[in-house]
Amino acid sequence: MKGEIEVNGAKNSALKILSALVLSKEKCRITNFPFIEDTRRMLEILEDLGVRIFIDEKNKTVEADPSSISKTELNETLVKKLRSSMVISGPILSRFGKLRMPYPGGCVIGKRPIDMFLDGYQKFGAEIAWDEQGFTLTAKEGKLTGAHIFFPKVTVTGTETMMMTAVLAEGKTVLENAAMEPEIVELANYLMRCGAKIKGAGTSTIEIEGVDEISGGEFYVIPDRIETGTFVMMGLVTGSEIKITNCIPKHLGAVLPILEKSGAKLEVGEDYIITKESKLVANSVTTHEYPGFATDLQSPYTLLMTQAEGLSIIHETIFEGRLFFTDQLNTMGANIIMCDPHRVVVSGPTKLYGKRLTSPDLRAGITMILAGMIAEGKTVIDNIYQIDRGYEHIEKRLQALGADIKRVKEK
């Protein structure tokens, strides 16, 4: 493959701004918006609540007018399709003082606990009533009060949701052991431009002083650091010189130093990365919260290690179940041994052969595409909705680089 590929707006930033806009009665205009399945699901949730949405796909722009929100009950069918729909629960509760929400759904790694969200809401003074279908939250006297929350575990959406919830709560909120992802900093910056009072986003302690209301605003979605890292690994695993543009390399944290230690030859600029032909060597990795090695890049890295000389251990610390896709790489000829659900040993290099695979989740799915590119023969991937959740028009963008890939069945 050869050429340039542009990185799109970050899924995990766009999803949060779509939730944050519910805090205000005024319009929010979002540019560099990624039109992927997950953000479309969130737009459907907003429309169902009564938010007026104006889409300009050609200019990657979405405008949302939340002045007409008519209900505080989330639609079950929609919520079940998107596990991260939990992030909108805080802003609705905080602005309207009540919320009814079914339990969220998700992918195979997505049946995740929501205890830190519910514990947090109780600290803000909300009462919770559970039943089999979902839960109802009610703020005492219609208004939340500031809270002191020490997250027992670092949680990205938990941090973002509690930060948004605190914006309209009365008094001061302190979040400790908070996540530090760049998307959290972007979200805090947007909220501050709209009148929120937030200190410390991007560090492990965030302080928020509640305000009565916030305005609308404009938000530019930062380039997706996971898409960036995926494309870097695509260049390396296929041995191609690819220029990845419109990205922020410094948002990759530990990923670039680890890739360099694995033998990757990279030219890194302010807003681009060029991959060069490299001799890959085994290098073990442990996933970690930002700025550590992102769990969302663990699957393409595992594939990369199947092409590296030697033995490496991949230790997935964030999500159980995120290594099970390695079974499918083994059917292609990889030599990966699972020690336990959190660790595999990869022995490389191995030649891969085309197979029929099923994408279990978004990141394993894109990894299967990369595996198919280097495998001898044809690879067919089923359940590509999972890939469309996070990568826009992926086949067209890869065809432009010279990949032999096509969508067999239109959506």
Indicate which residues carry an active-site annotation: 107
Peptide bond into 349 cis (omega under 30): yes
User: Does 19 help bind ligand EPU (rule: CB under 6 A)?
Assistant: no
Region near ligand EPU per CB under 6 A, out of 27-35, 88-96, 108-116, 199-207: 108-116
Nearest distance from residue 349's CB to ligand EPU, in Å?
A: 27
- Residue from 57, 58, 70, 113 in contact with ligand EPU (CB under 6 A): 113
Tell me which of 9, 91, 158, 223 binds ligand EPU, using CB under 6 A: 158
Please state the closest distance from residue 38 (CB atom) to ligand EPU, in A: 8
Q: DSSP class of residue 287?
A: B
| Helices and strands, counts by H and E, the chain | 14, 21
Write down the least CB distance from residue 107 to ligand EPU, Å.
8
Can you tell me which residue has the tokens 């695979």?
357
Site for ligand EPU in 308-367 (CB under 6 A): 318-319, 362-363
Long-range contacts of 197-204 (CB under 8 A, 24+ apart): 198/163, 198/167, 201/163, 203/178, 204/176, 204/177, 204/178, 204/180
Out of 8, 12, 173, 307, the residue judged to bind ligand EPU by CB under 6 A:
12
Question: Nearest distance from residue 324's CB to ligand EPU, in Å?
Answer: 15
Q: How many CB atoms lie within 10 A of CB 344?
A: 24
6, containing H or E segment: strand 2-6
Stretch that binds ligand EPU, among 112-120, 202-210, 344-352, 376-384 (CB under 6 A): 112-120
For the segment 29-88, give every residue that binds ligand EPU (CB under 6 A).
Answer: 84
Q: Residue 243, interface with ligand EPU (CB under 6 A)? A: no
Identity of the residue, 240 or 361, whose beta carbon is nearer to ligand EPU in the bound complex = 361
Q: Which range in 71-79, 114-122, 199-207, 255-263 contacts ligand EPU by CB under 6 A?
A: 114-122
Q: Which residue has the tokens 């493959």?
A: 1
Q: What's the distance, CA 215 to chain centroid?
A: 26
Which CB atom, from 11 or from 81, has the smaller least distance to ligand EPU?
11
Residue whose CB is less far from ligand EPU, 52 or 112: 112
Output 15 or 394, the one with its CB closest to ligand EPU: 15
The only residue of 15, 297, 366, 371 in contact with ligand EPU, by rule CB under 6 A: 15
Distance CA 223, CA 259 (A): 20
CB-wise, 49 or 362, nearer to ligand EPU? Answer: 362
* 259 vs 318 by CB, closer to ligand EPU: 318
Q: Are 137 and 97 in contact (CB under 8 A)?
A: no
Cβ of residue 320: shortest distance to ligand EPU, in angstroms? 7
Cα-Cα-Cα-Cα dihedral sign, residues 72, 181, 233, 241: positive
Nearer to ligand EPU, 297 or 308 (CB): 297
Which residues have a Cβ under 8 Å from the Cβ of 80 and sit 6 or more positions away? 102, 104, 105
What residues contact 351, with CB distance under 8 A and at least 6 apart?
333, 376
Contacts (Cβ under 8 Å, ≥6 apart) of 407? 384, 395
# binding residues, ligand EPU (CB under 6 A): 22
CA nearest to 64, candidates 32, 22, 96, 36 = 22
| Candidate segments 51-59, 66-74, 109-117, 338-346, binder of ligand EPU by CB under 6 A | 109-117
Strands 285-286 and 310-315: parallel
Q: What token pair was written down for 156?
A: 């990205």
Q: Is the dihedral of CA 387, 391, 392, 395 positive or negative?
A: negative
Binding flag, residue 135, ligand EPU (CB under 6 A): no
Question: Angle at the Cα of 120 (from 117 to 125), degrees rounded to 5?
Answer: 130
Establish if 14 lies at the interface with ligand EPU (CB under 6 A): no
Q: How far is the CB of 120 from ligand EPU (least distance, A)?
A: 9
Is 151 a binding residue for ligand EPU by CB under 6 A? The answer is no
* Stretch touching ligand EPU by CB under 6 A, among 19-27, 62-70, 110-118, 205-213: 110-118
115 counts as binding ligand EPU under rule CB under 6 A: yes
Residues in contact with ligand EPU by the rule CB under 6 A: 11-12, 15, 84, 112-117, 153, 155-158, 295-296, 318-319, 362-363, 390
